């Protein structure tokens, strides 16, 4: 991941050097895009923690349900039944065929 980040910064610097533009605006935009999601997440951590305290009592049930779904999905993959499910989805929801 570090290689991707450094290559983006390097690309911005090389681009600004080739075009004669100031790289400061490009680097500022890059830095803003990298930090803004963390700032937004920090702003909402308080309300999320209050909601999580109320929701915590349901986590045991959710963990059990996710475990059952994980086992079922493993069985579907092991029996090579994904194609059957995909075909059923395409027959019952035709708009899926427009995706991808």
Q: Which residue range(s) make up the domain with 100?
A: 45-100
Statement to judge: residues 61 and 76 lie in one domain: yes
Q: What is the pLDDT of residue 1?
A: 47
Q: Which residue has better confidence, 22 or 76?
A: 76
Pair (4, 50) in one structural domain: no
- In whole numbers, what is the pLDDT of the chain averaged over residues? 84
pTM: 0.49
Same domain, 64 and 29: no
Task: Give the CA dihedral 24, 28, 30, 36, nearest 10 degrees.
Answer: 180
Same domain? 88 vs 56:
yes
Averaged pLDDT, 2-18:
63
In sequence order, what DSSP letters do the residues of 24-35 get, joined into one string?
A: HHHHHHHHHHHH
The predicted pLDDT at position 90 comes to 87
Report whether pLDDT(29) > 90.
Answer: no
Domain tally for the chain? 2
The yes-or-no verdict on residue 96 having pLDDT over 60 is yes
Rounded to the nearest 10 degrees, the angle between the axes of helix 2-19 and helix 23-43 is 140
Q: Please check whether residues 100 and 79 belong to one and the same domain.
A: yes
């Amino acid at each position: 991941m570090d290689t991707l980040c450094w290559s983006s910064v390097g690309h911005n610097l090389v681009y600004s050097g080739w075009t004669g533009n100031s790289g400061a605006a490009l680097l500022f935009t890059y830095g803003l895009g990298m930090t803004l999601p963390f700032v937004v997440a920090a702003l909402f951590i308080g309300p999320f923690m209050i909601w999580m305290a109320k929701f915590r009592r349901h986590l045991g049930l959710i963990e059990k349900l996710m475990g059952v779904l994980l086992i079922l999905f493993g069985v579907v993959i092991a029996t090579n039944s994904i194609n059957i499910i995909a075909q059923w989805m395409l027959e019952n929801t035709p708009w899926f065929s427009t995706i991808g």
